[in-house]
Chain A
Amino acid sequence: QSVLTQPPSASGTPGQRVTVSCSGSSSNIGRNYVYWYQQLPGTAPKLLIYGNNQRPSGVPDRFSGSKSGTSASLAISGLRSEDEADYYCAVWDDRLSAWVFGGGTKLTVL
């Protein structure tokens, strides 16, 4: 059971906008920045969003992040087949003194 809750799956057709949610608590999302990682099949995770809504250089602006209270969301607009991957949210938990990850959301592009 992950400290952060994500839906196990999400899907969309090419060109659509999809969102992935991440729910936490006052000890993690409620007080710290949220990060998102993309893991393409058979590869290591890659940082997608840092500081709730900042994109590292090279990440397309189709990807955006937001946070409100103890929840966060990743939005992907203009969905492409190459976006098919697992997406994880992560945040530092002050009560556990540990990085915690969501269980991951498998995105399927139909």
Chain B
Amino acid sequence: EVQLVESGGGLVEPGGSLRLSCAASGLTFSHAWMSWVRQAPGKGLEWVGRIKSKTDGGTTGYAAPVKGRFTISRDDSKNTLYLQLNSLETEDSALYYCTTEGRFCTGGLCAEYIDVWGEGTTVTVSS
């Protein structure tokens, strides 16, 4: 069974930084594409960004609101995903979920999808 455990959340002042971690187990982490999704209190889900596996290039992609401020990285030797949050704004306050991206194939075509979710870690940006 795939398990994702996030940590590193907390209270930080506007303009501050934080690094979130996600420890993964039950999967071949080095082959996995991973995403971060956040949910502000009482609001809906918002994709933050993703990182592909190194064998698929290891490239990252980000949502417009966080591009240039957040950075996703991975340490395959530790089965751990990271999210570096810089220049934090009050609007970044949310529960941050670590997710796997699964892949399914049909008719010769394959597609990724957000699959397993962790329980999340809370980031609060406030002075």
Name A103's closest neighbour in chain B (CB-CB): B44
Q: Once bound together, how far apart are the Cα atoms of A51 and B111, in whole Å? A: 8
A2 contacts B97, CB within 8 Å?
no
CB-CB under 8 A from B113, the residues of chain A are 33, 35, 47, 50-51, 90
Q: Are B118 and A45 in contact (CB-based, < 8 A)?
A: no
Contact indicator B45/A45 (Cβ below 8 Å): yes
Tell me whether B111 and A32 are in contact (CB under 8 A). yes
Contact indicator A100/B114 (Cβ below 8 Å): no
- Determine the distance from Cα of A101 to Cα of B37 in the docked complex, in whole angstroms: 10
CA–CA, A100 and B97, complex, Å: 15
Instruction: Chain B residues near A33: list those with CB within 8 A.
Output: 111, 113
Contacts of A44 in B (CB 8 A): 97, 117-120
Q: Find residues 36-94 in chain A having any chain B CB closer than 8 Å to their own CB.
A: 37, 39, 44-47, 50-51, 54, 86, 88, 90, 92
Most chain-B CB neighbours within 10 Å: which of A35, A39, A99, A103?
Answer: A99
Q: Are A102 and B44 in contact (CB under 8 A)?
A: yes
Choose from B47, B106, B112 the contact partner of A100 (Cβ within 8 Å).
B47
Chain A contact residues: helix, strand, loop or mixed: strand
A110 surroundings in chain B (CB, below 8 A): none
Closest Cβ of chain A to B108, distance in Å, is 14
Given contacts A50-B104, A51-B106, A51-B111, contact A99 B47 (CB under 8 A): yes
**C-alpha gap A35/B111 in the complex (Å):** 11
Q: Which residues of A contact B37 (CB under 8 A)?
A: 45, 99
Residues of B near A37 (CB, < 8 A) are 45, 114
Check if B35 sits within 8 Å of A99, measured CB to CB. Answer: yes
* Interface check B63, CB cutoff 8 A: yes
The reply to whether A51 and B104 form a contact with Cβ atoms under 8 Å apart is yes
Point out residues on A near B: beta carbons under 8 Å: 2, 32-33, 35, 37, 39, 44-47, 50-51, 54, 86, 88, 90, 92, 96-104
Residues of chain B at the chain A interface (Cβ within 8 Å): 35, 37, 44-47, 50, 61, 63-64, 97, 102, 104, 106, 111-120
